[in-house]
Each structure stands twice: as C-alpha cells, then as structure tokens.
C-alpha cells in the first residue's frame, strides 16, 4: 500500500519527511492539508494528530507524527540515510527542531503569510537574531565536512535543510554562510532531490487570488 | 566512574537530564556551567559542545549533548522510564523541544533574567501565545491519562515538565491547566524527585549581589 504523507508545500517540517521519503525511493503520496484555512487545527485533523501539526505519516494502520519520527521510520525501514552513529544523527535532529526549524518556520510565516500591517517587527527581529546564532553553529559544523552527522548524507541533513530552499525571505541569505551554501548544493545534487514546492501540493500563489479580491 | 552533567540550576533543559539521572538512581554529579557569564558560548565550552548549550553528559570518554539524547542514553542503560513504544516517547520528546521548552525557556529568560527596561514585550506576548497553544495540547493529552507516553512514567514526562516547576513567572499558571497540574504532582511524587534548584547548582539569588552594586 502506498504510504500517505499529510503535508502542504509551505511546510518545511513536512518537507523534511517528504524529502526523506523521496530520496529513499519510498512508495508514497502526499495528502494536502489546507493549513491556511485552519485544517491542521480542526477537530477532524486532531483526531489524526492531537498536536495539530503536519507532517503525519500513515501506512498500513500505522500513524506517525513529528517529522523526525517519520524520518527515522523511513530510514530504518529502507536502511538508507540512517548513519552509523544514531546518537549523533538524533542530536542534530533535536537541535534542528529546537534551534533551526522552530525559529525559521515561525519567522518565515510572520514575514510572508500574514498581512504586512500585522507583522510583529520586534518578534521578527528577535527570531532572526536567534536564527543567526543557529546558522553560525551550522556553518561552523559544515566547515571542513560534507555532511552533518556522518561522512555520507543522513536524515539529519534532510532535517536541518528543511526551510533553507524556500524563496520567501525570512532572514537567511545563502551567500552569508558559505559552508551552508555548499552543503545545500550537495543535498540538491542527490539523485531524486526535489524542491519543496515540487514535492508537496500547495504554494503561496494558490492564495493570491483571494488577496486580490 | 561517576558520570558528569554540565548544567546550571536555571536551565530547564538541563533539568530534564538531571531529573532522569536522579530518578534512575544513576551515579552522577553536576558540573556547574556559568551560563550567565557566557561560559556556555565560550570557545572552551564549544570544544565540549559546538552547539554552545547545556546539558552535556560525560562518562568514560563518552560525551553526549541534547537533553533527549542524554535521557535516552540513561533510560536504555538503566532500563528505566523508557516506555514500551519508543516512537511515542520520542514523539513527545521532539514536541517538547519544538513547542514546549523552546518557547518556555526563552520566555522565562526574557521575563526574569535580563534588565526590566530591556524586556521585549511584543516578543514575550508572542511567545506566551505560542506556549498557550502548547499547554492546550499537553492538558488535553493528560485528560484521562496519568502519563504522557505510556501508563507508567517515561522520559517524555521528564522532558515536558522541564520548565514547569520553576517559580519565576513566564506565563504559566498551574491552576489554569488542571490536568497538567495533577500530572506535575504525580511526577513530584515519584521517589527521589527533586526541584531543579535542589538538583543542580546555580540559583537566581546567586546573582543578586551584582545587581545591588
């Protein structure tokens, strides 16, 4: 049975799981969640995931949430991208959840997906400061090594890059971080790699007509 | 050899690891990190953990960082608090890192550990809104069940409670969340439980004289 991933294009957290599935050659298909109309926090969706978040993975009666759990499941099942040192891979998955994607996803949302007049500028500035500290850690880590948690790509790479391919501005410029920049090119060079908007349904332009009304 | 945990009293992230060690009856001792004078971000500390964060665990040449990694290590080694469903335990550890402690630790810091005139009120309000959404998920989860990820306590409980025993205000009132309140009492009733300030060195009052100068 084809596995399902509940997701939407703008979600970097969902992208981590989708990219892992895709690069592993998994038999999967995306199920669109209409986040921008509140579907992820609806009672029906909370029946699937009480946390009210994407991604959610379903296969043969198994339901998993949290991108890292899905990534681990896929990596264990396929034997791909798991790395040799599980603790080291997990360490970067956790760091990403706490220090990278947690800040990047929120900042990108505030800067791009709410009306400009409602943007909380102090919050955006604060989060950008925290992200800068995270980019510094990531860039230093990637100095002199190709991949985050092993000498081959692992799911840790596919987690930490979750928000970094998106075109919408959120305070990240690849040119400022040469080691991150080169690493993003390496990930994008893996066979089967796809951009988040090519991998999952849903794109900011889908909502443009509403804004024009 | 006694294991070492690099930590300080005010760190809820370090508390998760310290509490797991203590409740497991592990042979450990705390090593104070002078976070408030920048030690966690010093070059010397980054030699131990490039992420510039506590907690860090060291034992017999093994160095681990990220509280959840340390919790997992201790649980696997002692066979205690690991739960039966590893994915479910991990799911709550990840959720905590992303949605609970990530917000709570930052908000508590901004509200208590920087000069009042420098407090970014918009940021504090924003983070409190996000925390409220997290408390809602946690309280609903604990409605009708005693423990988060199993019918016995697991390291998931010791993660999600990380910041919730601290006396400093950060926008969490136990009385508002009856299921969380009862669960915190259950955790505090476990044999060997200790409050963060009794388990780790360092307390806000240690810095009071400086402020009085």
Closest CB to A68 among B50, B94, B130: B94
d(CA A127, CA B105): 14
Q: pLDDT confidence of A1, banded at 50, 70, 90?
A: confident
Q: Please say if the pLDDT value at position B25 is more than 70.
A: yes
N- to C-terminal Cα distance for chain B?
Answer: 42
Q: Assess whether A116 and A65 both reside in one domain.
A: no
Same structural domain, B64 and B145: no
Same domain, B91 and B182: yes
Residue B213: predicted pLDDT:
42
Q: What is the pLDDT of residue B1?
A: 80
pLDDT (average), residues B126-146: 96
Q: What's the whole-number mean pLDDT along residues B122-151?
A: 97
Is B98 found in the same domain as B179? yes
For residue B152, being part of any structural domain is answered with yes
In three-state secondary structure terms, A206 is: helix
Interface test with chain A among B11, B109, B126, B145, by most A beta carbons within 10 Å: B126
At A207 the pLDDT is: 82
Claim to verify: residue A125 and residue A160 sit in the same structural domain: yes
Mean pLDDT of B127-140: 96
- pLDDT at res. A212: 47
pLDDT tens digits for range A70-105: 999 999 999 999 999 999 999 999 999 999 998 999
- Please list every residue in chain A whose beta carbon sits closer than 8 Å to the beta carbon of residue B155: none
On average, the pLDDT of chain A sits at 95
What percentage of chain A exceeds 90 in pLDDT? 95
Contacts of A94 in chain B (CB under 8 A): 66, 68-69, 93-94, 97
What residues of A are in contact with residue B121 (Cβ under 8 Å)? 122
In a domain, B95, yes or no: yes
**Residue B54: is its pLDDT beyond 80?**
yes
A44-55 average pLDDT score: 94
Is B102 an 8 Å CB contact of chain A?
Answer: yes
Q: Do A91 and B50 touch (CB under 8 A)?
A: no
**Which residues partner with B57 through β-bridges?**
B5, B64
Residue A213 confidence (pLDDT): 42
Residues B158, B183, single domain; the answer is yes
pLDDT over 70 at B211, yes or no: no
Residues of A in contact with B98 (CB under 8 A): 97-98, 101-102
Is there a single domain that holds both residue B56 and residue B97? no
Task: Give the chain A residue whose CA is nearest to the CA of B127.
Answer: A123
- Count Cβ atoms below 10 Å from residue A50 Cβ, excluding itself: 14
Residue span of the structural domain in which B136 resides: 86-188
**What's the pLDDT tens digit per position in A154-198?**
999 999 999 999 999 999 999 999 999 999 999 999 999 999 999
Report the DSSP pairing between strands A28-32 and A56-59: unpaired
Confidence of residue B90 (pLDDT cuts 50, 70, 90): very high
CATH of the domain at A59: 3.40.30.10
- Domain-embedded: residue B157: yes
Q: Are residue A94 and residue A179 in the same domain, yes or no? A: yes
Candidates B50, B65, B68; nearest CB to A140: B50
Both B174 and B116 in a single domain? yes
Q: Which two tokens stand for residue A116?
A: 């400009």
Average pLDDT, chain B: 95
Residue range B184-191: average pLDDT? 98
CATH number of domain containing A159: 1.20.1050.10
| Chain B interface includes A66 (CB < 8 A) | yes
Radius of gyration, CA atoms only, chain A: 17
Assembly ipTM: 0.92
B42 and B101 part of one domain? no
Asked if B99 lies within 8 A of A51 by C-beta distance, the reply is yes
The pLDDT value recorded for residue A99 is 92
The answer to whether residues B124 and B102 belong to one domain is: yes
Q: Which helix (H) or strand (E) element contains residue B192?
A: none
Q: How far apart are CA A191 and CA B134, in angstroms?
A: 38
**Per the structure, how many domains does chain A have?**
2
Query: How many angstroms away from the CA of A102 is the closest CA of chain B?
Result: 6
- The stretch B154-182 carries a mean pLDDT of 97
The pLDDT value recorded for residue A210 is 54
Is B202 among the domain residues?
no
> Is B92 inside a domain boundary?
yes
Asked whether the beta carbons of residue A90 and residue B73 sit closer than 8 angstroms, the reply is no
The residues, ordered by sequence, that sit 6+ positions from A47 with a Cβ below 8 Å of its Cβ are: none
Residue B91 lies in a domain: yes
User: What is the DSSP-derived secondary structure letter of residue A99?
Assistant: I
Confidence of residue B207 (pLDDT cuts 50, 70, 90): confident
Q: Are B157 and B70 in contact (CB under 8 A)?
A: no
CA–CA–CA angle B54, B57, B62 (5° rounding) = 135
Spatial contact of B100 and B160, defined as CB atoms under 8 Å apart: yes
Contact: A137, B51; criterion CB under 8 Å: yes
Whether residue B12 lies inside any domain: the answer is yes
| In-domain check, residue B122 | yes
pLDDT value, residue B212? 47
Give the span between the Cα atoms of A15 and A197, in whole angstroms. 9
Cα–Cα distance for residue pair B48/B79, rounded to 1 Å: 27
Give the pLDDT mean for B103-113: 95
Does one domain contain both A180 and A205?
A: no
pLDDT at A209: 58
Structure tokens at A164: 């970094």
Q: How many angstroms separate the CA atoms of A134 and A95, rounded? A: 9
- DSSP for residue A68: H
pLDDT at A102: 86
**Structure confidence at residue B193 (pLDDT):** 98
């Amino acid at each position: 049975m084809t596995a399902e991933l509940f997701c939407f294009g703008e979600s970097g957290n969902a992208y981590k799981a989708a990219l892992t599935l895709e690069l592993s050659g998994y038999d999967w298909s995306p199920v669109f969640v209409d986040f921008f109309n509140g579907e992820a926090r609806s009672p029906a969706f909370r029946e699937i995931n009480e946390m009210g978040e994407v991604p959610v993975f379903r296969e043969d009666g198994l339901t998993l949430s949290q991108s890292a759990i899905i990534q681990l499941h896929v990596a264990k099942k396929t034997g791909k991208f798991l790395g040799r040192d599980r603790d080291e891979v997990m360490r970067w998955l956790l760091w990403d959840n706490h220090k990278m994607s947690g800040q990047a996803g929120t900042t990108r949302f505030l800067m791009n997906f709410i009306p400009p007049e409602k943007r909380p500028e102090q919050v955006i500035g604060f989060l950008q400061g925290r992200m800068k500290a995270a980019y510094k850690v990531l860039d230093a880590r990637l100095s002199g090594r190709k991949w985050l948690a092993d000498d081959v790509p692992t799911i840790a790479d596919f987690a930490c890059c979750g928000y970094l391919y998106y075109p919408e501005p959120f305070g990240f410029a690849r040119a400022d971080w040469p080691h991150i920049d080169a690493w993003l090119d390496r990930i994008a060079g893996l066979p089967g790699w796809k951009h988040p908007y090519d991998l999952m349904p849903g794109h900011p332009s889908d909502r443009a007509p509403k804004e024009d009304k």
